[in-house]
Structure 1
Amino acid sequence: MFIGKQSRDFLIETASPAAVLSGVEVAQPASGLRCPYVLEISLWQDAITRQQQFCTQLESLHGDSVPSKVQLDDQKALIRLDNVQGGSHSIYVMEGDDVVSRAFRETNHWEKREVAAVVEQLITVADRKGVSRSEVVFIDIGANLGTFTMAAAAAGFKVYAFEPMETNIAAIRHSICANKQFLNNVALIETGLGNEFQTCGLYSGDANVGDGFVNCDPSFRIDAEVHAKRNISKRQDLIVRRLDDLLGSSVMDSLKARVAVLKIDVEGFEPLVFEGAKKFLDVVHPEFLMTEVNVDNPIKVKQYMEYMSRWYDVHEEAFTGPILDLSTLQYPAQGGRRFAVNIFNLYLAAKSI
């Protein structure tokens, strides 16, 4: 399948790659609008409808079978892997040397321990509340190829997946079609999240294409020197929105007491996402939260965790592990804590739990 150009298999007349990936024409925000795209209570159904339309188009091309390979453009392709993550479902990954995709191809897993921890916690919450898994919600911010999203859906939970990168969106959409039992369980929201409405650039490393990071500085450029030093490239522009504006009061009220776990991995943009989600944290208040941190800058991590400590206790290693002493997060030169790895996940539990 080619984006924005004709192939023997597929042709959509469209002005933007995002429209091809979603299968529908997506209205772009008009200049000067304060914050468009507030979908209120239709957010879930809107996303489900877009996915259904995409799968219908895919079926019209391939029948009941799902393609083993999807050509996105002249250089990028997706391939389908079956029986991943313990044999529970299929997933599309990149054909090239992307870190996450390579791990799936070689081991059928990515972040196996972390995925298991999230699913286990979702099950624990459903059992404690005595409700069906379909009544419990998982939110995946920075869904990447859908590793956590697909695992949670395979376990029977509802999922809101937020992902702005077009290649990742294509992978998730095809993965949902390959697992038809997930069709009404996953709402894919194609947007970036942050602390204000703005247009930013999305970048990623050439060896880990799907793991994008956001830079909103309009003066930031990837010249030959920067590319040679950091091996990163710009992938696309994207709209960044505040989660509080995107969801609105109606959606937040509908999600209250239903979100068991939120996972966020947005390559250092996490604090800005939650700056734009204060009302969400107050009203929806997910019971558990898993966030990636990078202690190359432990002062920023400390500030981030101190901000989140208004709502959560911060644990190491597991949702029920030891509570982290934030005072130990200092620069090594100051005698602060040294972790075995620089990038890892912290597990947060709501103070009311």
Structure 2
Amino acid sequence: MLTRLDLMAGAFRAGAALALSEPEIRGLGRLVRQGDVCFDIGAAYGMYTYPLAALVGPGGQVHSFEPLPNPFRLLAAGRRASGAERIRVNNAALGPAPGRELMTLPYRFGLPIHGWAHLRTGQRRPGRPISFSSTRTLKVEVRGVDEYCEDHGIDRVAFMKVDVEGFEARVLEGAARTIDSHRPSLLLEIEDRHLDKYGMTSADLADPLRERGYLMYAWHRGRWARVNSVTTARRNYLFAAQGGL
């Protein structure tokens, strides 16, 4: 019998097949198993949260992090509607260390552009010029992956999705112990237009992971295909430990 979570997860998988949601959702089954612990960092409305929760089953956990108030409210409402206690939602960003930090939320035509919100910590440049009518400054809670795992007694993380508008390297900085000891698969958004705000390039993000023994993949024609470089043809890249796929 299908549960509400199954229906929600199925809707996002169907959307991925029709190019209405991110196609990489179709490849999560190769990365995540029953009983796994996963992190959805930059969860927004739960595009990855619900498919991951269906895959990990009742014995697994999905820890979702969304710092913006309105997306978090919808994420929390969706978690309640799903009835899935394995989903833990957190109204917080992730970074190198716990604290409170400023976040910029751009507006266009009076509407918030949540997909371009970003933490100011370490920001060096405005980034790619975009026509925003205004911006709002928020103060948000920031956690670190390592600190969060220690606080919640998490001793094995299998998968982390990180989509934080150029702040990915700082999230990984706060996850250094987890990455080295757990070797989770990492699905990262990598776009130079976002990384430039923090004085970084795609190579600055990808190369250190490869030096740590990770192999880089992209979702292509229904499978994870090995790639050697980041291009503008796609924005999401999977890093898996050798032997992980």
TM-score, structure 2 as length reference: 0.75
Alignment match, 1:154: 54
How far does residue 190 in structure 1 lie from its aligned partner after superposition? 2.0
Aligned-partner Cα distance in 1 for 2:123–2:217 = 36
Indicate the SS of the match to 1:147: coil
Amino acid paired to 2:21: W
The 5 Å alignment of 1:261-280 reads 261-280=159-178
Residue 339, structure 1, aligned to residue 235, structure 2:
no
Question: How far apart, in 1, do the equivalents of 2:226 and 2:39 lie?
Answer: 24
Contact 1:162 1:191 in 2 (8 A): yes
Change (3 A) 1:306 1:231: farther
- Identify unmatched segments of 5+ residues in structure 2: 1-6
Between structure 1 and structure 2, the one with the greater Rg is 1
In structure 2, distance between residues paired with 1:314 and 1:109: 24
Partner AA of 2:241 in structure 1: A
Asked if residue 167 in structure 1 is aligned to residue 60 in structure 2, the reply is no
| Contact persistence 2:42–2:163 (CA under 8 A) | yes
Q: Say which SS state the counterpart of residue 230 (structure 1) adopts.
A: coil
How far does residue 177 in structure 1 lie from its aligned partner after superposition?
A: 1.5
- Please name the residue that 1:247 is paired with: 149
Partners of 2:49 and 2:64 within 8 A in 1: yes
Residue 191 (structure 1) aligned with residue 88 (structure 2):
no
Q: Which has the higher contact order (CA 8 A, sep 6+)?
A: 2
**Aligned residues between the structures:** 221
C-alpha contact 1:165 1:202 (8 A) present in aligned 2: no
TM-superposed CA distance for 1:249, in Å, is 7.4
Deviation for aligned residue 1:162? 1.3
Shift of 1:289: 1.4
Q: Is the 8 A contact 2:102 2:137 kept in 1?
A: no
Q: Who is 2:4 aligned against?
A: none
By how many angstroms is 1:305 displaced?
0.6
SS of residue paired to 2:31: helix
Partner of 1:145: helix, strand, or coil?
coil
Q: Is 2:121 aligned against 1:216? A: yes
Tell me the TM-score normalized by structure 1: 0.54
Q: How many angstroms apart in 2 are the aligned matches of 1:176 and 1:247?
A: 21
1:210 maps to amino acid? H
The runs of at least 4 consecutive aligned structure 1 residues that moved more than 6 Å come to 217-221
State the identity %. Answer: 21
Please say if 1:114 is aligned against 2:24: yes
Over 3 Å counting, the alpha-carbon distance change for 1:193 and 1:109 in structure 2 is: same
Aligned match of 2:188 in 280, 284, 291?
A: 291
Unaligned runs of 5+ in 1: 1-82, 90-102, 127-132, 222-226, 330-337
Deviations 1:67-119 (A, max 9, x none): xxxxxxxxxxxxxxxx5564489xxxxxxxxxxxxx99xx89422x2111124
Shift of 1:215: 1.4
Distance 1:311 1:144 in 2: 30
